Structure 1
């Protein structure tokens, strides 16, 4: 009987030592690079949690760009996936601007994907200009309302466009103070396309955006980019 108790005690001590070693090892290790990569950006986004924003994704019209027969969130994810290789060229800049402006970099990527398919020639860009020569760069800054700066695919351009987005988010915060931060965030994305004056309610925020799905599509794409390195 004594030997049984001693063996049981030795086994418990053995398990305790293993547990302590694992605990110490875990605490001493840095976060995995991928987790560390996204940790700061998620925590520092002051406009709301991207992953908590509800979205219905792309309309059939938007999805048809790549001849998809699907629509909604799956279509937005597919469009974003097609753009990923091109988007990765700008990943460092996008993340840098996101950190500096305290906005989720994935949202910047979502807008770039929606506006120009991350610089694809198939999006209609000519020397960095789109929308019949009225909009400039990856994020399509409208020269009728703003004076574009920098190279069409450079950091200065992304900074300017992100500042414009943030201004619109703040406009929506003031216009709809009772909305949640996430709803205001989404409303600001819609305003980036249609202007804050055309955002009348949460339910109909996309009614006057391009394709009537701009905010929903951008959010769905951004959520995909968030899960894939942005």
Structure 2
């Protein structure tokens, strides 16, 4: 995970100002946003990610892979508007996790898992149980730690 984050750093850096702007708007650590973008699209260059910003069999859009089955994607795939939409969705997940599981000690990890698979599918005792590869929130958190030590 750390190696992938390290490999993605030059690509993530292209969006640094947008990431920091969106994170500040919603009160989220920029490193978390960078971690999501690294996990979702490897900074806009991941396998299965098309040049027009679509991934997941054309169901998910942009750097943050907003799922069109649940949301109407906004902005260009690498725009400030798109990143802000993704961070807004993350914060909606945070609020839902906090409401459903008020005693959960690490609500951001829960929000990250919910960003990937929905709060309604979450097991509060094992937040990654139903996430992609069973490690979404722990992977994004590890990537975020790397980005935090690299100016995010």
Which TM class, normalised by the smaller chain length? over 0.9
Alignment of 1:168-207 (within 5 A): 168-180=93-105, 183-202=106-125, 204-207=126-129
Partners in 1 of 2:87 and 2:24 — Cα distance?
A: 11
The count of aligned residue pairs is: 151
Where is the helix percentage greater, Structure 1 or Structure 2? Answer: 1
State the alpha-carbon separation in 2 of the partners of residues 205 and 103 from structure 1.
20
2:72 to 147, 154, 159: 147
Match 1:123 to one of 47, 50, 58? 47
1:209 pairs with 102, 116, 131, which one? 131
Question: 1:111-138: CA deviations, max 9, x gaps?
Answer: 0000000001x42111100000000000
Q: CA separation in 1, counterparts of 2:77 and 2:121? A: 27
Distance 1:123 1:215 in 2: 20
- Structure 1 stretches of 4+ moved >6 Å: none
Unaligned stretches of 5+ in structure 2? Answer: none
Give the alignment's TM-score, normalised by structure 1.
0.64
Match of 2:17 among 92, 96, 102: 92
Shift of 1:179: 2.0
Please tell me whether Structure 1 or Structure 2 has the larger radius of gyration of its CA atoms: 1
Q: Quote how far apart the aligned CAs of 1:100 are.
A: 1.2
* RMSD, matched Cα: 0.8
